Amino acid sequence: MSVTDSFVAEYREALDRYLGGTGEAALSSAYEIGRSMLAAGLGILDLVSLHEQVVASIGPVRPTEDMTGSFLMESLSPFEISYRSVDEANAALRRLNELLEAEVGRVAHALHDQAGSILATATLELDMAAKELLPAGHQRLASVRRLLDETGEQLRHLSHELRPTILDDLGLHPALEFLAQGFEQRSGLEVIVCGQLRQRLPVAAEIAIYRIAHEALNNAIRHGGGALVITISLEELAAGARCVIADNGTGFDVESVLEGGGSRGLGLLGMCERANAVGGSCSISSQPGQGTQIDVIVPLHCAVPAE
């Protein structure tokens, strides 16, 4: 017996009561049946099919659609409420991502301008101090200056990774190449970016893919267990774009990590939420010893939350 069949008798009884004139009490039962079917993982088509099955079995004198339509609509109400809640949650998530992007932009600006200015001032002071020292002390100051220059370069790179102007100016592929270059320099891993998009995606979709790729690279470095190569591939689809981030690391049990929570589990959930927020999807495939693959699909047109 299917899950749908288990609701047939209950639906038939409630519909009979409604047709017999019990009115609101029977409609309340219709709502509860719809809620139970939703909780059981059934969909709207399952409910409509069940309704048609019950109506067809009533007998030679079948009720009209007007008589049964209100009952069906009431049983569908929990599905409508559920879908409305999902839409509202996605709209809230989009707004939250917008706020986070604004905050990340502020931090990136502070790193680039304020911290960069402090380092530049420190370098000038160091050069002035070097003029007052004997030649023997110049070598030590020169090594300090190199450290300051390296720190400044790292800060500039990090600020661009946080909010890459190259993403706004040139698009997703150049931004991902810039991201890959920075991770290669810091980790020693090989990061390959391949594929191309002929047209620009919506800003929100490009940011979502960039952030997911950034998190995936961080995970590969922290948890990859010796991954040697990470590949980021782009593919244009009829109604959007696909980005696949794959590594040849040790892999992991996705289900156990998600169930266990922790920062890694939250990071994986965050990837999926970013994709969902722009109307896309994100699937994570991995097994111990078999590497990891993250598959992101985003639509060409992203829904924009109402103001």
DSSP assigned state of 282: E
The rounded mean pLDDT for the chain is 79
Domain boundary, last residue among 88, 116, 142: 88
Cα distance between residue 26 and residue 35, in whole Å: 14
Whether 61 has a pLDDT exceeding 70, the answer reads: no
Check whether residue 188 and residue 303 sit in a common domain.
yes
Question: What pLDDT is attached to residue 243?
Answer: 96
User: Is-contact 256 207, C-beta < 8 A?
Assistant: no
Find the range with the poorest average confidence among 57-66, 174-183, 201-210. 57-66
Total Cβ atoms within 10 A of residue 21: 7
Position 307 confidence tier, pLDDT thresholds 50, 70, 90: very low
Does the pLDDT of residue 230 top 80, yes or no?
Answer: yes
Q: pLDDT digits over 100-154, tens only?
A: 666 666 666 666 566 667 777 777 777 777 777 666 666 667 777 777 777 776 6
Residue 297 has pLDDT above 80, yes or no: yes
Query: Would residue 121 count as lying in a domain?
Result: no
Q: Looking at the domain assignment, is residue 231 inside a domain? A: yes
Looking at the structure, do residues 202 and 294 belong to the same domain, yes or no? Answer: yes
Q: Please check the confidence at residue 175 and state whether its pLDDT lies above 50.
A: yes
Same domain, 181 and 294: yes
Question: Whose CA is closest to 257, among 228, 292, 208?
Answer: 292
Which of 57, 88, 119 is the last residue in one of the domains? 88
Per the CB < 8 A criterion, the answer to whether 213 and 179 are in contact is yes
Residues 6+ apart with CB under 8 A from 18: 26, 27, 29, 30, 71
Closest CA to 54 of 95, 116, 1, 8: 8
Examine residue 107 and state whether it is found in any structural domain, yes or no.
no
**Domains contained in the chain, number:** 2
Which CATH number do you get for residue 207? 3.30.565.10
Asked whether residue 81 falls in the same domain as residue 204, the answer is no
**What's the burial of 288, exposed, middle or buried (CB within 10 Å: 0-12/13-18/19+)?**
exposed
Q: Closest Cα to residue 68, out of 82, 58, 60?
A: 58
Higher pLDDT, 31 or 193: 193
- Is 267 part of any domain? yes
Mean pLDDT over 33-37 rounds to 87
* Both tokens assigned to 210: 């960039």
Locate 30 and state its tokens: 């219709």
Residue 234 to residue 232: CA distance in whole angstroms:
7
Whether pLDDT at 42 is above 90: no
Which tens digits make up the pLDDT trace of 178-205? 889 888 888 888 999 999 888 888 888 9
Same domain, 275 and 175: yes
Domain that holds residue 283: 166-307
The verdict on 177 and 264 lying in the same domain is: yes
88, 107, 130 — which closes off a domain?
88
Q: Between these two residues, 245 and 220, which has the higher pLDDT value?
A: 245
pLDDT category of residue 231 using cuts at 50, 70 and 90: very high
- DSSP H helical ranges for the chain: 8-17, 24-39, 44-56, 65-109, 116-131, 135-162, 165-170, 172-187, 203-223, 254-260, 262-277
Q: Are strands 229-237 and 190-194 parallel, antiparallel or unpaired?
A: parallel
Does residue 141 sit within a domain?
no
Contact 181, 174 (CB under 8 A): no
Q: Give the model's confidence band at 266: pLDDT under 50 very low, under 70 low, under 90 confident, else very high.
A: confident
* 137 found inside a domain: no
Are 208 and 294 part of one and the same domain? yes
**pLDDT recorded at residue 2:** 65
In a domain, 138, yes or no: no
Residue 304 has pLDDT above 60, yes or no: no
- Confirm whether pTM is higher than 0.85: no
- 213: in domain: yes
pLDDT score for 305 = 40
